[in-house]
């Protein structure tokens, strides 16, 4: 006779047996997924390693993890409340460190020489108040055995670039008045989470670098009106090359000065909170820029101070450096960085970039990940796994309402499971399979060959115990070298036939499928939905940052809001539909708590229907066939149309009368289940959402 296993949400010791059943109790993620049982020892090993590391860093509970991660309060340049300045840096390989800057004519002098204060390699300099002032530029002059060089402090909280020379320098930043927060009690709305992925610099219509203030004034109101309750902001950490999209970071504690001052960033975040919008940051801890003068590449004559030695130092695909997550000082640096952005700028959490690259020695390159063995075969970086687990524990300790999202493509089990269940503690993982799937069928299949069964499988394919962020496309699909969904569907006709009344068949098809793809993806989500700015209205052009190859032009590093504002063009149809879609989903209280229940699919008809709560979603992917009185068995009652992709207000053909209340037809065969037949007219290439009254 089979024995029922006793499970718990808490981590269970390795050896004890359940007294009730005498069967080994399983750690949470294994209890949820029996296929993980052969790998339970490895899962427990990772969990125990993280627990041990937390104990080590917190001196076995003498301090909190948050207390450990307060390095930004100690290192770097700080104004002393009773007067004067103090500067500290970790540079174990240095033999001498001097501050040089506007305050001393950029000359090395003893007055600005740091003193080594510990065997761990910490340096300190205390100065009187008159020694420097707010706005002064400075750097470090570091000497080491066999060399010397200028460096920007690793913990610098303000870094600026000279417009003429393009040289970066740290800047003394101590304004007379600190920013006064208004929306102190803000908490993110997570059910569901609608994320608007955005980039401050390219968010304006003008061909230039946009600012924090312009984003606050011009773009935040659009986001709020569209119904998004969270923004995911890219490229905040300072980076030397604008075209890197913020992914080659040099100064991890400095908000990019290209977009304005720290106070202007704080005001943007505060204003977003006042609008009910959470703000998460696209944080880059998966690698760092190779630059030595601006970055950490060879900080004090030691190329491995922050990074792995040997072959593991350089990322083979990204031309960047890989952090050594096994060093306590590196953990201190990165964990302090997480806390810094939450405490100092009130960010509501992070989307961690490049998690797959962190998890595997191979960085996930050339790996297939087809069986569970691929996640537990000894090719994983246990140091990085430990860091990610610690980061999530810290972030939720600092702010229990924080949001953490993993950008991870391999499917590593447990990534978005709770730490006590043997997971790594992320709140969500990106459903990266979904955009890949949409691109694949748009590229490779004729419309007649789209299978609703395959679509349904892909949009709801996820681990039952891990929440995900679904999306059709992100910034990745909008970059030069790739194509957005709208461009894959319409291509050059976007330029010639996107005016009302001048649409051709290609444009009509593209508009219809753009809406259907988004509705299918968002309605089947399991936690949240993400959109990159402008894609909701079918922004027509790729992203190409200024570079030598395009004459350093900003033409494609912007968002053309004028297009969606122009009611003579078709863009507003897509934008209006996106807003209505979010509104309908929000109207179903507890949307995420309702399972995605399939009602019907027929690959021959290309029809799909499923239910969430009182909402029914019906899709007809057929490009040519409309159906009259197409029937589904649903809970008996009256149903009203909430949204129709074919409505005229969204650029559709307006073939159905959405004012009609649809009543189910009674059937004695199904009466005991309280079900009846709902019969609908479903036009070709359209979708409709109905609600049971």
Whether 502 is catalytic: no
CB 369 within 8 A of CB 376: no
Q: Is residue 374 within 8 Å of residue 367, measured between CB atoms?
A: yes
Distance CA 391, CA 334 (A): 8
Q: What are phi and psi of 604, to 5 degrees?
A: -70, -45
Beta bridge pairs of residue 101: 138
Confirm whether 353 is a catalytic residue.
yes
Of 40, 270, 353, 503, which one is the catalytic site residue? 353
Q: What angle do CA 550, 216, 268 make, to 5 degrees?
A: 110
106 touches 100 (CB < 8 A) = yes
In the beta sheet, which residues pair with residue 380?
A: 360
State how far the Cα of 284 lies from the Cα of 303, in Å rounded to an integer: 20
Cβ burial of 359 (10 Å; 0-12, 13-18, 19+) is: buried
Cα 97 to chain centroid distance, Å, stands at 38
Tokens at residue 402, please? 């924080």
* 93, 300 Cβ separation under 8 angstroms: yes
Q: What is the DSSP secondary structure assignment for residue 38, as one 8-state letter?
A: G
- Indicate if the alpha-carbon torsion angle 378, 382, 384, 385 is positive or negative: positive
The H-or-E segment that residue 578 falls in is helix 571-587
Q: Evaluate whether 615 touches 679 at the Cβ level (below 8 Å).
A: no
Nearest CA to 93 among 330, 326, 322, 304? 304
- On whether the CB atoms of residues 494 and 560 are closer than 8 A, the answer is no
Q: Are the C-beta atoms of residues 120 and 90 closer than 8 Å to each other?
A: yes
* Upper half-sphere CA count for residue 452 (Cβ side, 13 Å): 23
Question: Are 399 and 391 a contacting pair, CB within 8 Å?
Answer: no
- C-alpha 530/C-alpha 563 separation (Å) is 22
| H helical segments located in 399-444 | 433-444
Here the tokens at position 158 are 């303000």
Continuous H helices in 281-346: 328-345
Q: Which of 270, 348, 407, 408 is catalytic?
A: 407
> What is the 8-class DSSP label of residue 25?
P
Residues 6+ apart with CB under 8 A from 672: none
State the greatest distance between any 2 C-alpha atoms of the chain, in Å, as a whole number.
Answer: 95
492 contacts: CB under 8 Å, gap ≥ 6: none
**Active-site annotation, residues:** 353, 407
């Amino acid at each position: 006779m089979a024995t029922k296993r006793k499970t718990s949400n808490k981590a269970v010791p390795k050896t004890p047996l359940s007294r009730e059943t005498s069967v080994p109790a399983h750690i949470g993620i294994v209890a949820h997924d029996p296929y993980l049982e052969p790998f339970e020892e490895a899962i427990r090993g990772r969990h125990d390693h993280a627990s041990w590391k937390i104990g080590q860093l917190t001196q076995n509970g003498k301090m909190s993890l948050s207390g450990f991660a307060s390095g930004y309060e100690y290192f770097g340049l700080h104004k002393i409340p009773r007067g004067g300045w103090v500067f500290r840096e970790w540079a174990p390989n240095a033999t001498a460190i001097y501050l040089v800057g506007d305050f001393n004519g950029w000359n090395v002098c003893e007055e600005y020489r740091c003193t080594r204060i510990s065997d761990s390699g910490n340096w300190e300099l205390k100065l009187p108040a008159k020694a420097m002032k707010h706005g002064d530029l400075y750097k470090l002059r570091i000497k080491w055995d066999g060399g010397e060089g200028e460096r920007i402090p690793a913990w610098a909280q303000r870094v600026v670039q000279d417009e003429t020379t393009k040289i970066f320098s740290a800047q003394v930043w101590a304004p007379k008045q600190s920013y006064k927060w208004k929306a102190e009690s803000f908490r993110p709305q997570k059910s569901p989470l609608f994320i608007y992925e955005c980039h401050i610099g390219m968010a304006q219509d003008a061909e230039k670098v946009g600012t924090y203030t312009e984003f606050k004034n011009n773009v935040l109101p659009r986001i709020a009106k569209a119904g998004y309750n969270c923004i995911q902001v890219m490229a905040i950490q300072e980076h030397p090359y604008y075209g890197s999209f913020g992914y080659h970071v040099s100064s991890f504690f400095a908000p990019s000065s290209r977009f304005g001052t720290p106070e202007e960033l704080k005001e943007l975040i505060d204003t977003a909170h006042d609008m009910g919008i959470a703000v998460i940051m696209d944080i880059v801890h998966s690698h760092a820029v190779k630059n030595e003068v601006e970055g950490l590449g060879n900080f004090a004559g030691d190329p491995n101070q922050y990074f792995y030695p040997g072959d593991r130092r350089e990322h083979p695909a990204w031309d960047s450096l890989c952090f050594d997550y096994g060093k306590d000082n590196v953990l201190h640096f990165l964990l302090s960085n997480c806390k810094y952005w939450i405490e100092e700028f009130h960010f509501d959490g992070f989307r961690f970039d490049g998690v797959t690259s962190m998890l595997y020695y191979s960085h996930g390159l050339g790996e297939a990940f087809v069986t569970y063995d691929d996640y537990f075969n000894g090719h994983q970086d246990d140091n990085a796994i430990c860091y990610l687990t610690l980061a999530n524990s810290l972030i939720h300790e600092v702010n229990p309402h924080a949001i953490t999202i993993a950008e991870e493509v391999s499917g590593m089990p447990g990534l978005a499971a709770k730490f006590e269940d043997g997971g790594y503690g992320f709140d969500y993982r990106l459903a990266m399979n979904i955009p890949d799937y949409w691109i694949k069928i748009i590229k490779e299949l004729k419309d007649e060959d789209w299978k609703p069964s395959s679509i349904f499988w892909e949009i709801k394919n996820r681990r039952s115990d891990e929440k995900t962020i679904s999306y059709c496309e992100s910034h990745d699909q909008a970059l030069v070298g790739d194509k957005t969904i709208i461009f894959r569907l319409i291509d050059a006709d976007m330029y010639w036939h996107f005016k009302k009344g001048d649409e051709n068949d290609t444009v009509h098809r593209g508009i219809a499928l753009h809406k259907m793809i988004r509705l299918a993806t968002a309605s089947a989500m399991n936690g949240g939905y993400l959109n990159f700015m402008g894609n909701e209205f079918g922004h027509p052009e790729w992203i190409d940052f200024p570079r030598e190859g395009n004459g350093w032009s900003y033409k494609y590093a912007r968002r053309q809001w004028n297009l969606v504002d122009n009611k003579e063009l078709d863009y507003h149809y897509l934008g209006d539909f996106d807003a209505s879609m979010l509104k309908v989903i929000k109207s179903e209280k507890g949307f995420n708590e309702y399972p995605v229940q399939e009602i019907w699919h027929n690959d021959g008809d290309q029809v799909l229907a499923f239910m969430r709560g009182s909402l029914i979603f019906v899709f007809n992917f057929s490009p040519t066939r409309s159906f009259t009185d197409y029937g589904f068995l649903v809970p008996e009652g009256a149903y009203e149309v909430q949204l129709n992709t074919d409505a005229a207000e969204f650029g559709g053909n307006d073939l159905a009368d959405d004012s009609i209340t649809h009543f189910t037809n009674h059937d004695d065969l199904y009466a005991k289940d309280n079900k009846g037949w709902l019969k609908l007219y479903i036009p070709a290439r359209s979708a409709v959402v109905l609600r049971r009254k």
